[in-house]
A and B are shown apart, each in its own frame.
Chain A
Amino acid sequence: MYKSVSLSVLFHIIFIVLTVVSLPFIKKEPITAQQLIAIDIIQISEKTQLPFAPKAREIIEKIQKEKEKRVVTKQAPPKITPKEKPKAVPLPDQLKEKAKEEKKKQNPEEIKELVRQSSEFEKKELFDPNKIAALIDKSKEETAEIKQKQSLELTQNQDSSVSLNKGITLSQEDAIKAQIYKCWNIPLGLPYDQNLLVRIRLKLKQDGSILFSEILDHARMNQPGQGFYKVLAESALRAVKLCDPLKMPATGYEKWKDLQLNFDAKEMLRG
């Protein structure tokens, strides 16, 4: 009994002494050397496009397909400052807050020629908290619409049987998109409520210049009653031509030599 108590006391003392002696050292700040961070510059494609073993690929493809069924839109492409389109002229109670600004901006005396430029503010879409319910309802409608659209005309979601191995990475895809966006003058008179999807097949040379381009639904262009489709198709062809040569990644020619561009102006025209 006595022995064990004394042992316990001894160990406690040792412990206390050790803490007292060592703690001040811990408290002292160590010499701080600038820590170096090593950065490897790598092609993102090496990481995103790892070749999978066949079995793994199968599994991933399965998952991907299931995902596609659920996911309606892919990652939003970068915004190319679209011209703001007015949904409507706002009502006075929506205006109240900014009424003062309006007075400054709108100066009818200064109107030159005969064009009255609408002030920016006037055209701004104002978020109306009272309409949240309406928005939610709308989203319901939209999903419902998507399900209904099993018509003959292709929609983007149906068309792109996006395979897992797209060949190019998302960032490369975005770079191509950004180039085409700049070249494409959307015909402004088109109706926004029709399904007009123009698919153009491109074959590219190694330097990114276009070897040939063709419209996939070429026959539709000259059918009667397809005037709007023709207009859109021609504008898409002009866009492709204006963008020639495309700036393509230096490597992986095999992956991007065949491209298909799906032109769809609906989103923009609906504003």
Chain B
Amino acid sequence: MKKLYLTFFSILFFTHTSFALVKIDITRGNLEPLPTAISPFYMDDPAKFSSQLKGLKLEEKIPELISTNLRRSGLFNVIDPKSYIQSPSIAHMKPTFQDWALIKAQIMVSGKLVIDNKKRLRVEFRLWDVVNAKEIEGLALFATPSSWRRIAHIISDKIYERMTGELGYFDTRIIYVAETGPKDQRVKKLAIMDQDGANNKYLTLGNELVLTPRFNPTAQMITYMSYFKNLPRVYLLNIETGMQEVVGDFPGMTFAPRFSPDGKKIIMSFAKDGNSDIYSMDLATRVVEQLTSHPSIDTSPSYSADGNYITFNSDRSGSQQIYVMKSDGSNVKRISFGEGLYGTPVWSPRGDLIAFTKIYRGNFYIGVMRSDGSGERLLTQNYYQEAPSWSPNGRVLIFYRETKAGKQGVGASSSLWSIDLTGYNERKIKTITDASDPAWSGLLSK
């Protein structure tokens, strides 16, 4: 009985006062680019620098190029340097984070140039988390003064990688077809440049028409289509040595070449008697394998990231559509079922998506779909555009766009553009001449 009373009183007086932990789901936030401050670099012990090196003003140019790179990615909002109040050396050694928080920066980049004992130029940079007041990345690189652009690109890649969890794409090059002259006498040269349009270089003289250049993802090698004895043929070109060679001895025309992800094979179309099929060739053994044999036109093959599958386009169903097959040619499956025509499928290096050109009611679209054909998403639309090529991290596509010719058939120009997977960040890439058929290299510093 006593016990009963006790229980009764305890219930009466000790009501539940403990509260469970409050859990709150945060599912929304800002989708603005990350506010970033990039402090100018500084020269450590300027007396050691030659006047020539000082004249290059690398301590300003490197951070400027990093800013340009990050801004172009669409993921960073670089704050105007005029609002920076801290001197570059303090920012690099022991930044006062409040000063940077004041201008609403969430991360900050600082750096310095050093001439070391062996008289080499060393570039150091640090990435700071302003909000949590700590250093989150740091790196020192040796450089020759002339390679300062690459240094800036490598630093940009490091920052990009640290802040997004993904590899960057700034230390890369783009190969494209440079076009000059009137439409009926177009001179097309193979050209290569940095991802941002700098360091432009021509690789061929323009005597022969060149088309569809593609990078070997693992080496400094290019494959492209050019004319040999008035017949389009696939060529190989070593960028470093300038050596050129015709691929294989085919009794017809070969075109639309592309490397396998390991760089050991070339896959291409071979056309004879009005029928084109897909062939692969091992570069070391030169063994050729026929992968499709269908009376329709099969072309534009591209390997998947793991090399186990191939996507290509074919008109076997009556109109041009995208297909996927195993890399030995078996299991052919159509994946594009939307309205319109689909072409130039390219498998993303990340493996999840296939980029393509779609033609629908006279308009050209660049889009992506999953490798099973689902989730088709059109990123950009224009009068004429095609040939998407992936950045090495699979987040950005480069392609070319042609403007309408005037009434006399002149005034048409073509240029290179890039767009990221969000479909938001569309940018033109500066080239000296008109440009078409771009292809993105892998990361150079990997």
Contacts and interface: CB of A to CB of B under 8 A. Distances in A.
The answer to whether A binds B is yes
Contacts of B423: 85-86, 88-89, 118, 123
A260 interface: yes
Interface in B415-433: 422-424, 426-430
A162 B23 contact: yes
Contact of B378 (A91, A236, A268): A91
A238 B131 contact: yes
A254 B19 contact: yes
Interface stretch (B78-86, B182-190, B359-367): B359-367
A37 interface: no
Interface stretch (B48-56, B146-154, B161-169, B211-219): B161-169
Interface string B20-33: 11111111111111
A62 interface: no
A153 interface: no
B11 interface: yes
Contacts of A165: 16, 19-20
B25 A262 contact: yes
Given A89-B380, A230-B165, A156 B20 contact: no
Q: How large is the interface on A (under 10, 10 to 19, 20 to 34, 35 or more residues)?
A: 35 or more
B22 A166 contact: yes
A234 B361 contact: no
A258 interface: yes
B28 A82 contact: yes
B34 interface: yes
B100 to A, nearest CB: 13
Contact of A177 (B16, B21, B24, B106): B24
Nearest to A176: B24
B74 interface: yes
A80 interface: yes
Interface in B325-384: 339, 352, 360-361, 363, 365, 367, 376-381
A256 to B, nearest CB: 6
A260 B132 contact: no
Contacts of B29: 80, 180-181, 183-186, 239, 265, 268
A255 B251 CA distance: 82
Dominant secondary structure at the A interface: mixed
A258 B18 CA distance: 12
A92 B129 CA distance: 45
A88 to B, nearest CB: 5
Kindly state the interface size class of chain B when it binds its partner.
35 or more
Contacts of B21: 258-260
Nearest to A269: B31
Nearest to A229: B165
B26 A167 contact: no
Given A116-B426, A241-B131, A258 B22 contact: yes
Nearest to B425: A115
A83 B166 CA distance: 23
Contacts of A77: 27-28
B75 interface: yes
Contact of A115 (B19, B31, B33, B426): B426
Contacts of B122: none
A234 B129 contact: yes
A121 B361 CA distance: 20
A184 B30 contact: yes
A244 B381 CA distance: 44
B163 A231 contact: yes
Interface in A87-123: 87-93, 114-116, 118, 122-123
B31 A91 contact: no
Interface string A248-271: 000000111011111111111001
B15 interface: yes
B395 interface: yes
B25 A188 contact: no
A218 interface: no
A93 B339 CA distance: 11
A237 B74 contact: no
Contacts of A188: 31, 33-34, 74-75, 164, 422
A182 B11 CA distance: 44
Given A118-B423, A185-B106, A256-B22, A267 B28 contact: yes
Contact of B106 (A180, A236, A238, A258): A238
A260 B19 CA distance: 13
B22 A264 contact: no
Given A88-B376, A118-B426, A259-B23, 17 more contacts: A80-B29, A82-B31, A83-B31, A85-B31, A85-B423, A88-B379, A89-B423, A180-B29, A187-B75, A187-B164, A188-B75, A188-B164, A234-B129, A258-B21, A259-B24, A260-B22, A264-B25
11 contacts: A80-B28, A86-B422, A88-B377, A92-B360, A181-B29, A183-B29, A187-B75, A189-B166, A190-B164, A227-B165, A238-B131
Q: Which 6 A-B pairs have the closest CB atoms?
A: A189-B164, A184-B29, A227-B165, A167-B19, A163-B20, A231-B165
